[in-house]
Amino acid sequence: MPGYEWIGKEEQQQIQDVMNTGVFFRYEFPNERKGIYKVREFEENFARYMGAAHAHAVTSGSTALKVALAVLGVKPGDEVITQGFTFVATFEAIIEAGAVPIPGEIDYTLNLDPADFEKKITEKTTAVIPVHMLGAPARIREILEIAQKHGLKVIEDTAQALGASVGGKKVGTWGDMGTFSFDYYKTLTTGEGGMVVTNDRDLYVKAS
């Protein structure tokens, strides 16, 4: 299904509310927007749904990854481990941060194999990006344990698994930061857009 069959009067009204203000900025212009803060409302509701302390909207899932990498201090020359089976944006974000993507093998979950992840860690490794592919959660508990043992940051690429959970806790809220995509083909769409979530106030402020 292309998605248009889900667009009805409710969605059209939400867009019209914004059009009536004439303000397309995320925040600011309080007088002109007449109390209409769609992005802030979305962020607050999304954080509540995820069980996360903070959610910060961005322009795409790719941007969400790049923001998370920057906020967590990944710099040129660093190595970031992720899985070979993923959408290209995961690798692109690492490369655009100036870091080196290190592909790891996947296991029966179709996600990063924790054992292979640990084998790939070097003195240059600063972060890992497990990707929850096709709605299937990675073995996030084991990945986190390994990352913590080696002092690595964890960014969850949750573009394809919004709503999935492990032990009742939503994926995207286990690591330091979780990233999401809302493009036209995702489970939840805003046409384009993305989100970064975190439970760390300082990371949220840096993301903003």
Q: Which residues are catalytic?
A: 186
Of 148, 139, 96, 141, whose CA–CA distance to 121 is shortest?
Answer: 148
